[in-house]
Amino acid sequence: MDGAHSAGLQLQPLSPTSGATSPSLSSGEGSFSYKENLIGALLAIFGHLVVSIALNLQKYCHIRLAGSKDPRAYFKTKTWWLGLLLLLLGELGVFASYAFAPLSLIVPLSAVSVIASAIIGIIFIKEKWKPKDFVRRYVLSFVGCGLAIVGTYLLVTFAPNSHEKMTGENIARHLVSWPFLLYMLVAIVLFCLLLYFYKEKNANSIVVILLLVALLGSMTVVTVKAVAGMLVLSIQGNLQLDYPIFYVMFVCMVATAIYQATFLSQASQIYDSSLIASVGYILSTTVAITAGSIFYLDFLGEEALHICMFALGCLIAFLGVFLITRNRKKAIPFEPYISMDAMPGMQDMHAKGMTVQPDLKASFSYGALENNDSISEIYTPATLPVMQEEHSSRSTPGVPYRVLEHTKKE
């Protein structure tokens, strides 16, 4: 009994010591997590800024060479190649950021590219806005930039601090966990339903198309984080490339990215790019954060206040992106053409020097049809070489006009 009592007395002093070391360890881990979050956030912000600059450089190059006869003249310019180099550098920065910070922090930071594009579009590309549209466009765009910056600050400040080594064992364990398997079941069923309505029922709503993109994108970012994390560990000396799960994740990353780009391309043929940017950002960010929080357990153990402030940051960033993109200029739609050989007497028009009705409103090319009820009006007709004649529109019975669809040529 005395021996047991003395043993108990000897063990008693160890308990405060172990309890005292716990806060210091927790504090050290918290500090390390914050540093990793900061590194990941800075890499993502840098990457999105560089990508935005690169895309605007290439856009500037294409604008300057718009009248060139060579459709690939931009390959010969240093500006376009500089843009491509910066694009690769920016994408590499975004890719690396997933290895350091939680997925839920990195995904919403794509708002930085929208902010940068809005500012660069004004300064670098010199986009023109009419004075009467100043309040409606200029002010709202900068209000949107301000809101997006505030939202980004809240995201970085209240981001989850969950950090886990992206080893093959950890990723395989998360992949077969029942919460993620349940999410995958719901996502696959929803994707199949949306794809059925889109392909079979011609449901071309922007929400349907961009939800397909968002569901694919959620798997893309989940696999990107796994691949990036395993590569970083391998570079640090803890080789992960001998795990089969690495190659499974890599194949999924490439496949989902390709199909995601396909649906985005289809959406861009139907809807305005600014609408795609705003709706796509909101849907993709929401679905990706949901997938990341389920797969990587980003918010496990986080305080309710931090989660609420993070959600508030997302909402503010959503509103900012919406305000930035809602007033962008819409592209002039392509218009149908009249087949000249279907009009009686038009075949020898050039030989006789007849006048031709010019394209109105300076649209993209000569001969486009206009929605115009007063066709008989004279709009300063173009004259072909022989002599100038007054244009008069006469209806010719017989062969009706044949309207052909004009497709955009790259």
Angle formed at CA 261 by CA 260 and CA 262, multiple of 5 degrees: 90
Residue 375 lies in a domain: yes
Residue 364: domain span: 332-410
Paired tokens of 146: 């301000």
Which residue is listed with tokens 């716990």? Answer: 22
Residue 131 CA: distances (Å) to CA of 120, 128, 135, 238: 20, 9, 8, 60
CA distance 409 to 72: 12
Which residue is listed with tokens 């350091």? Answer: 100
Q: What confidence score (pLDDT) does residue 186 get? A: 95
Query: Judging by beta carbons within 10 Å of its beta carbon (0-12, 13-18, 19+), is residue 385 exposed, middle or buried?
Result: exposed
Looking at the DSSP assignment, which residues form a beta bridge with residue 403?
Answer: 338
CA distance 401 to 380: 23
Residue 57 lies in a domain: no
SS3 368: strand
SS3 392: coil
Q: Where are the alpha helices (DSSP H) in 200-299?
A: 206-235, 244-268, 273-295
Residue 359 lies in a domain: yes
Residue 250 lies in a domain: no
Residue 258 lies in a domain: no
State the total domains in the chain: 1
CA distance 320 to 46: 19
Residue 260 lies in a domain: no
Tens-of-pLDDT digits for all 410 residues of the chain? 444 444 443 434 333 333 333 333 344 444 557 788 888 889 999 999 998 888 888 777 777 776 666 666 777 788 888 888 988 898 898 998 998 888 888 988 888 888 888 777 667 655 555 566 555 666 777 888 889 899 989 988 888 877 788 888 999 999 999 999 999 999 999 999 999 999 888 888 889 999 999 999 999 999 999 999 999 999 988 888 889 999 999 999 999 999 998 898 888 888 877 788 888 899 999 999 999 889 998 888 888 898 999 999 999 999 988 888 875 555 444 444 444 554 555 555 555 555 555 444 444 444 444 444 444 444 444 444 444 444 444 444 544 445 455 444 44
Let me know: does 245 contact 222? Beta carbons within 8 Å.
no
CA distance 266 to 247: 29
Structure letter (DSSP) for residue 338 = E
Q: What confidence score (pLDDT) does residue 264 get? A: 86
Let me know: does 37 contact 102? Beta carbons within 8 Å.
yes
Q: Which residues of 279-304 are buried (b: 16+ CB within 10 A; e: fewer)?
A: bbbbbbbbbbbebbbbbbbbbeebee
Let me know: does 57 contact 83? Beta carbons within 8 Å.
yes
Residue 368 lies in a domain: yes
Question: Could you give the angle at which helices 14-64 and 78-97 cross, rounded to 10 degrees?
Answer: 160
Strand (E) or helix (H) holding 50: helix 14-64
Residue 42 lies in a domain: no
DSSP track, 88-117: HHHHHHHHHHTTTS-HHHHGGGGHHHHHHH
CA distance 81 to 392: 51
CA distance 186 to 287: 12
